[in-house]
């Protein structure tokens, strides 16, 4: 599929040469041939075997190790998928060479990247991918990225195999070199030699799950530096949460003119997609579940479906966790749904175990967790949620409050412009107030301390000036006193 207009090639040296790692920052391989010296007494490992030894097969979009990978449910996420496809096969010359699919934790980014990879392959676009996973040691670091992509490039363009293999054999320790060196030698140089004008799409999902904030930034910068010249038939889709360090990297001046941002917000009608997903999955349960005969014709009630949609807050993870719990084959779906809605005790059941693990990991990354939890307790139990008041309440600089809460950007917003704390997940306060679920991150036990602080601050005339005239301070204090001291 010809979708790339190649500019004039860069001038290459008059004589074929190999400048291999003479300059580690900008290694270049130009033309030439490689001679195999066969009279050496030292047995050398085949270059292709060395490459395979450094590949993370679990990072492929179609890896068998990714059992039932997340993908978009039928007839959902169609708008964002079509926008992505228009980007990759759109007008020539290309305007944006990098796309950043971003959203809150559990928004469905990996499912979209998975479905997009499958869609592109079905429609003839050549795709190489790397799916990071924090919990998989074979794909939670930057180390295997280039080898994994290079292996896929060989499968897509067999004519690159000889070049890549001989490069590795010439320098078998290449995977001990910098990420930029590996990228230039094993990705860029082979692509430059291709005669095809088809665009190669690289999909790199879960950048925030790659170990090391600085390494995440380096990965993005290195790829973006590669595409600033706009002379390669290459486009890259990154998928990640809106972590502070990743936002900062994509906000850099170098991204101007080459970046397309796709935030997963209400523009893509996520709420409608979530409702469609829930209804379809409940229909599946009523059709296939071993205990389906126990379900009445009106199950589930419309208000229960709406409650799940509301709790999802536009993020698919809550709805997916609920459906997984309700559809457990050894349980009664009606009973399971009642447990979700707290209509009957959970007993030993853990309907939100997967969601809780996600929340707990996110909170484990917060350095000033004690202060962060007090701020969240205020935001949950207090009537006012503006950052200025909260910062004053805890006697900290407003800018410091934003920094303290920055590691939580995947589940909430601390927007200085709107001066509000906004929860991306309506289920997050439920988690924080439930001791069994949140454990050391529970905020309900802080209510008494908050009430005491309220009384102390309320005595200050300066604090009273923060309130609007139409806010009844006495009622607010009484409410907090009841919550904390009752």
* pLDDT tens per residue, range 266-292: 678 889 999 999 999 999 999 999 999
pLDDT of residue 482: 44
Same domain, 48 and 170: yes
pLDDT of residue 15: 33
Distance CA 324, CA 203 (A): 28
pLDDT of residue 397: 82
Same domain, 255 and 288: no
Number of domains forming the structure of the chain: 3
| 330 within a domain of the structure (yes/no) | yes
DSSP state of 141: S
Same domain, 88 and 158: yes
Same domain, 396 and 423: yes
pTM comes to 0.82
Q: What is the span of the domain harbouring residue 398?
A: 363-485
Last residue of one domain, picked from the residues 326, 351, 376: 351
| 40 within a domain of the structure (yes/no) | yes
Last residue of one domain, picked from the residues 208, 239, 267: 267
Please report, to the nearest 10 degrees, the dihedral formed by the alpha carbons of residues 426, 432, 434, 438 taken in order. 120
Q: What is the average pLDDT score of the chain?
A: 83
| 3 within a domain of the structure (yes/no) | no
Give the long-range contacts of residues 340-348, CB within 8 A, separation 24 or more: 340/308, 341/304, 341/307
Question: Worst-scoring range by mean pLDDT, 71-85, 384-398, 421-435?
Answer: 384-398
Same domain, 459 and 314: no
* CB 323, CB 281: distance < 8 Å: yes
Strands 412-415 and 420-423: antiparallel
Distance CA 75, CA 56 (A): 31
| 150 within a domain of the structure (yes/no) | yes
Confidence of residue 16 (pLDDT cuts 50, 70, 90): very low
Q: Quote the tokens at residue 261.
A: 């941002």
**pLDDT value at 2 more than 80:** no
Same domain, 298 and 249: no
Element (H, E) at 237: strand 234-241
Residue 207: asked if its preceding bond is cis (omega within 30°), the reply is: no
Q: Give exposure, 472-484, as e/b (b: 16+ Cβ within 10 Å).
A: eeeebeebbbebb
| 386 within a domain of the structure (yes/no) | yes
Question: Which residue would you say has higher pLDDT here, 31 or 368?
Answer: 368
pLDDT of residue 452: 52
| 390 within a domain of the structure (yes/no) | yes
What CATH number corresponds to the domain at position 141? 3.40.50.300
Same domain, 426 and 342: no
| 10 within a domain of the structure (yes/no) | no
| 233 within a domain of the structure (yes/no) | yes
Same domain, 368 and 340: no
Last residue of one domain, picked from the residues 215, 236, 267: 267
* CB 203, CB 116: distance < 8 Å: yes
Tell how many helices (H) and how many strands (E) occur in the chain. Answer: 22, 9
Question: Which residue would you say has higher pLDDT here, 360 or 34?
Answer: 360
């Amino acid at each position: 599929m010809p979708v790339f207009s190649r500019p004039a090639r860069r001038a290459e040296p008059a004589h074929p040469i190999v400048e291999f790692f003479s300059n580690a920052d900008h290694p270049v391989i130009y033309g030439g041939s490689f001679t195999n010296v066969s009279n050496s007494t030292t047995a050398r490992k085949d270059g292709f075997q060395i490459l395979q030894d450094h590949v993370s097969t679990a990072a492929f979009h179609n890896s068998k190790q990714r059992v039932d990978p997340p993908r978009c449910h039928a007839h959902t996420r169609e708008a964002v998928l079509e926008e992505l496809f228009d980007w990759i096969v759109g007008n020539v010359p290309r305007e944006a060479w990098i796309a950043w699919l971003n959203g809150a934790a559990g928004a469905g980014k990996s499912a979209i990247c998975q479905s997009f990879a499958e869609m592109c392959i079905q429609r003839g676009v050549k795709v190489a991918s790397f799916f990071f996973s924090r919990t998989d040691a074979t794909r939670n670091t930057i180390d295997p990225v280039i080898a994994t992509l290079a292996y896929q490039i060989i499968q897509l363009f067999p004519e690159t195999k000889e070049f890549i293999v001989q490069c590795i054999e010439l320098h078998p320790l290449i995977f001990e070199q910098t990420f930029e060196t590996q990228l230039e030698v094993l990705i860029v140089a082979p692509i430059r030699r291709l005669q095809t004008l088809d665009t190669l799409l690289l999909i790199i999902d879960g950048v925030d799950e790659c170990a090391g904030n600085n390494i995440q930034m380096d990965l993005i910068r290195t790829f973006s530096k590669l595409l600033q010249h706009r002379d390669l038939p290459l486009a890259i889709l990154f998928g990640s949460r809106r972590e502070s360090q990743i936002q900062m990297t994509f906000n850099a001046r170098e991204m101007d003119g080459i970046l397309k941002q796709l935030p997963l917000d209400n523009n893509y009608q996520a709420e409608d997609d979530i409702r469609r997903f829930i209804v379809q999955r409940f229909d599946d349960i009523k059709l296939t579940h071993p205990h389906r005969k126990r379900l009445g014709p009106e199950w589930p009630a419309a208000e229960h479906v709406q409650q799940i949609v509301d709790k999802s807050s536009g993020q698919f993870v809550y709805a997916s966790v609920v459906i997984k719990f309700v559809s457990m084959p050894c349980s009664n779906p009606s009973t399971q749904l009642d447990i979700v809605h707290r209509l009957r005790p959970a007993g030993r059941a853990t309907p939100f175990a997967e969601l809780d693990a996600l929340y707990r990991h996110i909170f484990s990354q917060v350095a000033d967790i004690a202060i962060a939890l007090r701020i969240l307790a205020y935001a949950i139990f207090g009537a006012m949620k503006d950052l200025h008041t909260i910062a004053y309440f805890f006697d900290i600089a407003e800018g410091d409050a934003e920094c303290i809460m920055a590691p939580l950007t995947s589940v909430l917003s601390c927007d200085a412009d709107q001066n509000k704390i906004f929860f991306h997940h309506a289920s997050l306060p439920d988690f924080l107030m439930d001791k069994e679920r949140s454990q050391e991150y529970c905020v309900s036990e802080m209510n008494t301390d908050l009430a005491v602080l309220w009384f102390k601050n309320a005595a200050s005339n300066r604090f009273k000036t923060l309130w609007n005239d139409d806010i009844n301070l006495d009622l607010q204090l009484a409410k907090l006193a009841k919550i904390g001291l009752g």
